[in-house]
Every structure is written in C-alpha cells, then in structure tokens.
Amino acid sequence: MQFTRVTIALTSLFAMLLPVVAVNADSSQLEIISISEVADTSVEILFKSSVPKKSLANYVITAAVDPSVGQAKNIKKIIKTKATGLITAEIKNLNPKVAYKFSVSAKTKKAKMISSEVVEYSSLSNLMDVLSNLPADWGNPKPTQLPIPVPTSTPLAAPAFTLSSSSETRTVNTAATGFSVSSTGGAIASFAINATPPGMNFNTSTGALTGTPNTIAAATNYTITATNASGSATQTFTLTVTVTAPAFTISSASETKASGSAITGYTISSTGGAIASYAISPAAPAGLTFNTSTGLLSGTPTTVAGATAYTITATNASGSATRTFTLTVTAAVYTVGQTGPGGGKIFYVAPSPFACGPTLATTCTYLEAAPTSNAVANYWTDVTRTWSTGANQSVSVPNANGTTIGTGYKNSLAIVAQAGNVEASSAAVAARNYAGPNSLSDWYLPSKDELNQLFLQKTTVGGFVDSYYWSSSEFAADYAWFQGFNVGVQSVLKNGTYYVRPVRAF
C-alpha cells in the first residue's frame, strides 16, 4: 500500500473532512470499523460481522454517491465468504472528487438482508481541495449577525357573511329598509352586487343597499359578493317593487234625474297608483252604461228608482279603493209636443198610469211617436205594408185584439210571431224592428185607441200622409182596425196596404 490511515476521532474541522471515519460503537451484527485510503481511487474497508456462519450466504459492500452528482456512479462489491469477525476488503474505481456513503450488508440463505450503519467517506485529495477553498479568516471567524426572525402570521380566513333580511317588498318611490351585513369569516376587503335596483345605492365597503326604488319590478334576485385575499362568498337578496295602491275622488257623490233624461254623472281624479280597472256594484241601472276602463257612469235612465247607492271600485296590483255615487231616478214630467226618451214626439199624457209592456205587467204614463224629421238621427219614413205577411192571417192564440191604450206592444208581438211574417210585408214587423234615435227596442204598431190619440195630435207630431194608417188591433179573422188621417174615421179591413208609424209607451 502507498498510504495507510487508521480511524481516529478529531474535534476540529479536519475530523469532518478526513477520509478515515470512526463509526458504530455499538455491538450490531455488522459494523464498519474503518475506511482507509489506499489511493485516490481505492480504499480498504475493515468491518466486523457477528452473523452466524450457518445462515450466511455472502456480503455486499455498497459505495453510494449523492444523486445530484451526475459524473459518479454507485459501486457494489460482493464478497463471497462466510467468515465472521474482522473482515477486510478493497474497493476500487472510486472518484476522488466525490464523497461516498459506505454500508455493508450480509445476505442470509433465506434471502434476508442485514445491513450496517452508513459511514461517509471523502478522499484526501478532495479534502485538500476543500481546505484550499476555505476563507482567509477561517479559524478566526468574525461574529455573525444572526437574522432577526420574522414572526409568522395565521393565514387569512376566507370571507363568510349573513344578511339580516333575504327579501323585501316595497311600493315604488318608498324608501327600502334593505339589510345589514354580519361577517362570520375572514375580514372582508370589499363588496360587489350584480346590479343595483333603479333609485338605490350599493356601498362596496359595507355591502349595504339603501335608497328609494323608483321603478316597478317583479321579484328580482340581487347577488351580493364579499371578497378578501383568500376568496369570496355570496348571499342573495330579493327585492319586489309594487305599484302604489289606487286612490281616487269623484266630482259628484249624488244626482237626481228624471226617467228619460241623460245623467250628468261624474268625473274621476286618480290620487294614487295607476288604476288597472273599475267595477260597479250593484249593476248599472237600465239605460245606463258603466265603463270598466274609465270608471264613468253615463246614459239615460229609463226606470224610476229611489235613491240607490252605487259603489265604484278602482283596482290595481297593490289593492283597491272605493267611492259611492247615489242616483235617484224620478218619474219624468212631459207635455205633448216634447221630445221623449226614445227621441220621438210625445203625443199622449195619461191622467193616470196605464198597463203597458209586452205582457201588460208594467205601467206607463206617456206615448211617443217615431220622428220623421231628417234632422234627427235614425228618423222614420212612413211606409206602406200589409197588416201581416199573410193578409188574412188570423191571430187567435196569442191574440192581438187589444184596443185600449197600452195594448199595442202586446198586439204587435202576437202579429210578429205569426209564421212567415217579415219586415218587407208586415206593418207590425216593420214597427218592431225600428230602434229610433236612442236605439231603444220597445217600439211597436199602435193599438186602435193609441192610433186615434196619434191622429188627434197629428199636427203636433207631424210628417203624416193624408191616407190610412194601420193599428195592431185585430177585429176578426179577416179584419183589423185602421184609421184615415184625413178625416179620422176608423174602419176594419185586412187585405189592404196602409201606412205605418211606430210608437212606444213609457
């Protein structure tokens, strides 16, 4: 050998650098006693074995290098001996620039591996290189200023929070309550909202939603997001903005009108939210019309009635409001020559009410005749017709033999009910089909006595021809009453063609 070094213990830096290392003072079964450098590239290993011979297969010496050193490889040497006690072996082909970790393993016949502790080794030339690179003041080091430790902090928790309220319903243009935010997680750096309701404000520092919503909207979800450096969290707030409840006034609370005279009614002034629709209770009286869009009551009452309170209700999505209008309809007071509720001329005023109507179940006081002046809308032109389409048709059941004032309506209905009667050839059908200036449906062919009253006021009523006019009164199967408007004589006949003038009772 060129050079032999025994293992010794050093307390200086050389003890860490020298290639001979003392290890394993315990009494394990395998123990490396020393590593001696033979040359730069070879060493002699002295190890002690107490593994029983009868179970021993061989020994394996391993020289392992730091994996980060790419130029050197691990070295393994198998020693085929079953000796125990002190054993030496030479390991060659080492890299002098690399430190190795040596270990010895014993393989048993049962393939069990028994290993020693690892011993580090570096060649003498490698140690000298390290020493040559030591700083000039090595061995007399200057005091080292230790860094001041930086205190560590707990990581920031992710944000979490709750809202004092998850939903709210507000009337438009009414300040909203909103919500308060309670943080239940890490400190929140900022807030955001996906959209801000019209008229309201969102605070990105506190997450508060405040203000007065000014736009009607159905239930809308708003997402509030809280954020910090560790993440974010969200909550949802639902806001519904409704229309203001309706409110209104009417220009007049009551009115009294004579039957047949158009009412003045009232006007409506809305003082609340937009009104969607109106209703009236009880239903509008005969002759009057109620408009569900405007809430107005208009028209001409045709039935006498005591003071009746009508409730007008305005409604929208937020509620309703009511007002009361009281209407009293009195009996009309007319004189001969005045215009009646049907738009015709009054030609008879009874001293006391008479039975009238389609079944004589009601009472009337006045008779009016269809107007013939073209200055009036839907005026009547006297035309000639047969009494019925079948000139000699008899009206027996129901009969048409009423002659008194008030029976003309009932007679006319009986004539019209005959089979085959049409307006083009029936006096009664033509009279019944007339609606007049005010679109009333109760015009008819006058009875014998009603026709005579019409003759007596022919000058006042006007428009008559000096010829014969039919009544609705049947005399017999082949005869019906008619009257000459030249001299006023009434006679009976059925097969003639005479003039027609509709009348109505009220």
Total number of domains in the chain: 4
pLDDT digits (tens, 9 = 90+) for 425-441: 899 999 999 999 999 99
Query: 327 vs 174, 195, 235, 266, CA distance in Å?
Result: 38, 53, 58, 11
The token pair that represents 7 in the structure block: 């293992």
- % of the chain exceeding 70 in pLDDT: 88
Q: How many angstroms separate the CA atoms of 131 and 139, rounded?
A: 12
Domain boundary among 132, 149, 169: 132
Query: Is the pLDDT score of 15 beyond 50?
Result: no
Q: What is the mean pLDDT of residues 65-71?
A: 68
- % of the chain exceeding 90 in pLDDT: 70
Same domain, 192 and 283: no
Query: Is the pLDDT score of 260 beyond 70?
Result: yes
What pLDDT score does 106 carry?
92
Q: What is the mean pLDDT of residues 209-225?
A: 96
Q: How many angstroms separate the CA atoms of 294 and 290, rounded?
A: 9
Query: Is the pLDDT score of 412 beyond 70?
Result: yes
pLDDT digits (tens, 9 = 90+) for 23-41: 333 447 999 999 999 988 9
Q: How many angstroms separate the CA atoms of 358 and 335, rounded?
A: 24
The pTM for the full model equals 0.42
What pLDDT score does 14 carry?
40
CATH number at residue 211: 2.60.40.10
User: What residues contact 171, with CB distance under 8 A and at least 6 apart?
Assistant: 241, 242, 243, 244, 245, 273, 318
pLDDT digits (tens, 9 = 90+) for 301-319: 988 899 999 999 999 999 9
Query: Is the pLDDT score of 413 beyond 60?
Result: yes
Same domain, 128 and 182: no
Q: What DSSP line would sit under 45-106, residue for residue? A: EEEEE---GGGEEEEEEEEEE-TT-SS---EEEEE-----EEEEEEE----TTS-EEEEEEE
What pLDDT score does 68 carry?
66
Terminal Cα distance for the chain, rounded: 155
Model confidence at 129, in pLDDT bands (50, 70, 90)? low
CA angle, residues 70, 71, 73, in degrees to nearest 5: 90
Same domain, 361 and 486: yes
Query: Is the pLDDT score of 443 beyond 70?
Result: yes
Least confident segment among 30-44, 83-97, 122-136, 229-243: 122-136
**How many C-beta atoms lie closer than 10 Å to residue 121's C-beta?**
23
Q: What is the mean pLDDT of residues 12-22?
A: 40
Most confident segment among 22-26, 27-31, 60-64, 360-364: 360-364
Q: Which helix (H) or strand (E) holds 205?
A: none
Model confidence at 81, in pLDDT bands (50, 70, 90)? confident
Same domain, 350 and 404: yes
Domain boundary among 304, 330, 356: 330
What pLDDT score does 66 carry?
74
What pLDDT score does 69 carry?
59
Alpha helix stretches (DSSP H) within 119-265: 124-132
What pLDDT score does 164 carry?
96
Domain boundary among 180, 215, 242: 242
Same domain, 375 and 489: yes
pLDDT digits (tens, 9 = 90+) for 175-204: 999 999 999 999 999 999 999 999 999 999
Model confidence at 249, in pLDDT bands (50, 70, 90)? very high
Average pLDDT, the chain: 88
Least confident segment among 258-262, 326-330, 335-339: 258-262
Q: How many angstroms separate the CA atoms of 438 and 262, rounded?
A: 11
Same domain, 231 and 319: no
Q: How many angstroms separate the CA atoms of 287 and 298, rounded?
A: 9
What pLDDT score does 170 carry?
93
Same domain, 253 and 232: no
Is the residue at 153 inside a domain?
no
Is the residue at 137 inside a domain?
no
Q: What is the mean pLDDT of residues 253-266?
A: 90
Whole-angstrom Cα Rg for the chain: 62
Same domain, 324 and 279: yes
Query: Is the pLDDT score of 6 beyond 60?
Result: no
Is the residue at 291 inside a domain?
yes
Q: What's the domain range around 116? A: 13-132
Same domain, 373 and 486: yes
